Amino acid sequence: MYVRRPGIVIRPPSEAGSFLLQVTYGCSHNHCAFCGTYMFTRFARRPLDEILAEIEATARYNQGVRRAFLCDGDAMCLDTAELIPILDRLNESFPRLERVGIYANAANVLSKTPADLESLSARKLTIGYLGLESGNDEILKRMRKGSNADEMVTAVRRAQAAGIDMSVIVLLGLGAYEMSREHARDSALVASRMNPRYLSALTLMLIPKTALHARYRKGEFEVMDARSILQELRWFLQDMDVPGPCMFRTNHASNYLPVAGDLPRDKERMLAIIDRGLADSSMWRPESRRAL
């Protein structure tokens, strides 16, 4: 079967073993200043018959799929009525299916009612990945995120109340030196209000041809050094006051130092690792081995 795959397909690290199913192409927002992922992909909905045919073709040789991930960048932008036949066919085709994941932004979650979200989670759409990036509204505006912090808190709470665990991502370095402390403090405040099931931090890497890269070239944005990023991570973690349980990770390849643990239980242990990292640069991932 011919399967059209325009652009590149990305997925969260935790979806490495999942059946990756494109249900949209690109990102319906596609405007964030730091993001170049879908710069050359025009947003489109993939035709339903093509999606269903790919599910059937996959089921013919692999009945054992336990996890599926709906791509691309914000597949949650599809209406509930568009997602349901896809989820139903996944459930019918893969008897061992345990969960379906999806990238989501606040606008796509908030366009759905609690009942919509419950009908999706009942069909095993039980994990969503949302880029908070920053809890600071000025930074979100500069980065053209398209949602403010309060909207993202409401979206995460609404999804989780409906049975969809949320995995929230914060982007270190997004406030540059100028707003580093505010970025860390407000991101911790907002992430704590969200109380997501999963929380991770990535570190900004400038992508050529993005709006943020253009600002950098004009001297309007500074990229922070490794030590300042670690200090920002420390501020962020020390300011986290989440009821939990919240699994926190910085294991993404863009980061300088991996830490992992459950909040609030492991907070002091993770802070101690960051403090050792601040004192010992041999613990840092070399620049040449950082990647997105």
Q: Applying CB under 6 A, which residues contact ligand SF4?
A: 27, 29-32, 35, 37-38, 73-74, 105, 131
Q: Which is nearer to ligand SF4, 174 or 229 (CB)?
A: 174
The number of angstroms, rounded, from the C-alpha of 47 to the middle of its chain's C-alpha atoms is 25
Q: Which is nearer to ligand SF4, 35 or 87 (CB)?
A: 35
Q: How far is the CB of 74 from ligand SF4 (least distance, A)?
A: 5
Q: How far is the CB of 154 from ligand SF4 (least distance, A)?
A: 17
Distance (Å, rounded) from C-alpha 267 to C-alpha 170? 17
Instruction: Give the Å distances, CA to CA, from 106 to 132, 248, 279.
Output: 9, 21, 38
**Ramachandran region, residue 7 (left: φ > 0; alpha: ψ -120 to 50; beta: rest):** left
Q: How far is the CB of 285 from ligand SF4 (least distance, A)?
A: 22
Q: Which is nearer to ligand SF4, 27 or 152 (CB)?
A: 27
Q: How far is the CB of 292 from ligand SF4 (least distance, A)?
A: 11
Contact 171, 204 (CB under 8 A): yes
Contact 107, 121 (CB under 8 A): no
Q: Which is nearer to ligand SF4, 128 or 244 (CB)?
A: 128
Q: Which is nearer to ligand SF4, 36 or 163 (CB)?
A: 36
For 79, list phi and psi in degrees, rounded to 5.
-65, 160
Distance (Å, rounded) from C-alpha 14 to C-alpha 173? 23
Q: How far is the CB of 170 from ligand SF4 (least distance, A)?
A: 13
Q: Which is nearer to ligand SF4, 10 or 260 (CB)?
A: 10
For 25, list phi and psi in degrees, rounded to 5.
-115, 130
Instruction: Give the Å distances, CA to CA, from 85 to 90, 94, 122, 123, 193.
Output: 9, 14, 13, 10, 33
Q: How far is the CB of 36 from ligand SF4 (least distance, A)?
A: 8
